[in-house]
A and B are shown apart, each in its own frame.
Chain A
Amino acid sequence: MSDFPWLVAMIAVPAVGAAVVAALLKGRELLAKQLALAVSLVVLALAVLATVAFDRGGDRFQLTTSVSWIPDFGVDFALGVDGIALVMLLLIGVLVPLVVGASWEDPAPEGRSMRVFFAWLLLLEAMMVGVFAATDVFLFYVFFEAMLVPMYFLIGSFGGPRRQYAAVKFFLYSLVGGLVMLAAVIGLYVVSSSQLGEGTFAFDALRQLEIDPGVQKLLFLGFFVAFAIKAPLVPFHTWLPDSGAEAPIGGAVLLVGVLDKVGTFGFLRYCLPLFPDASRDFAPWILGLAVAGILYAALLAMGQSDMKRLVSYTSISHFGFIALGIFAFTTEAGTGAVLYMVNHGLATGLLFLVVGMLIARGGSRQIGDYGGVAAQAPKLAGAFLVAGLASLALPGTNSFVSEFLVLIGSYPSRPVFTVVATLGIILAALYILLMYQRTMHGPPRGVLMAAPDEAPGALGGGSTAVLTAPAPAPSRLRVADLSGRELVVVAPLVALIIVLGVYPQPLLDLIEPAVTATLSDLGAPR
């Protein structure tokens, strides 16, 4: 069973699916949705089976496939996963079907077709699998850049009012980082050809290199800038609130839930093992950025009036925690950071989905346009609360485990940074509860109010209406609770959040060996 090319299948199935969905005739929208759902479920099944086939105690990279691609430059189409990449593939497998379900009834914008939306979604899935599964640095780069294309169209074609601006900003930001990384990739190739006699892009060969410290620093920075933009770390973050706010909900979930994790994944997979000396040299600076980002983005989140922007800023804050865990260089913190990547995908994914469901009902992204929704839609409020609590890392939810691991693992080696970062948990409670209170609690008000029955005398009453205040019209909130489809989308995430909050050990067992291997490449004390 382990001979089956799991990873190739996981890329090929959604890619072919995307082509088929795109080729469907106009008007076959329902078939397109059904196909997209089926394909994404197949990928989920493949991811689960691949996890079963993965041997926890075995080699670092497993399920490998390698085909020579551009022999002149030593480029291979080489795939393989370690525990870190595997859990990310699982995350992709879980999120994409839910996104398909969540987008099921989204209206297509003027002149667009949801068929195309689902095609781009599947293509994005293929690219995301590729970027995590690549073990050839050049192949990684190709997927890294190719991933932008479907996302660009998802934002630019199906997003909110300022989608063009957001899409171009997203594209340019990522492209700048990507090009800097390309330079570094080529630099690596040059170094490898001078040291090994023959140029290569294979990760396993590259991490054996002994690179001159000065060159290491330059190459490290090349990779770092690309990943820091992708992750994003403050101050490279300003594209995310725009993209997160303008992207369609499904796109936003995948953007923040998975796509951005490529940045933190890249730190762990490429920056640390390939450039150990530079990583150690730059670690204090990066930790400074990470911790500053935790507090800075949390404060900014509090100041937002747009729900989707708020959630985007919370993600920037969370990425600070992940970066802290990665650059603390301890097993506990590293494992916690990887788990954080998964958990954040689930928690923020749910938060985005629920916020999207609220926005779909009210047609406004402004927090101030809602109030007292919990009274009419308890299930929606409950899902919102679970997502919010997971976002503020309450014990019992999955995020607690990862945040706790990151902080407790970072404290022994970096006490000062950790103490400052810990203050972030107060701010997390503030921004989540502020949003929850304003939308769900309080008296019913805002855009969801049913049109008040005309109070007698209120219209055409002339001056008398001013003198005798009309009796307050009976105003009611009119909002539907979660539909069956929405429940099916939300329930798996709620269940995962709680199950992984109580019993996270299976994931930790998958992740830890890979983190240990990464840190041993780094040559850190532990």
Chain B
Amino acid sequence: MTLNYYLVLAALLFTIGAVGVLVRRNAIVVFMCIELMLNAVNLTLITFARSTGTVDGQIIALFVMVVAAAEVVIGLAIIMSIYRTRRSASVDDANLLKY
């Protein structure tokens, strides 16, 4: 089944993204990894939409892209302001949520 290739690819992308979120310190890279995970999910959605012949998956993928775009705007703004106050884009330097 060709379906499997797409799904495996999506899983790989998702894993790369997840590991990136966990191990990278640069906030920008972490951000890009999150995008990678979102797109991996999009790929899965499209794949299933294609295989079942419905449009639900494609609609949700479009939603995800819109939300992701909005998220990028807010996220980058936060990163910028953190960078301005802390002179660093490393996520480890921003631990204000500590107990």
Q: Please say whether the chains A and B touch (CB closer than 8 A).
A: no
On B, residues with C-beta under 8 Å from A are none
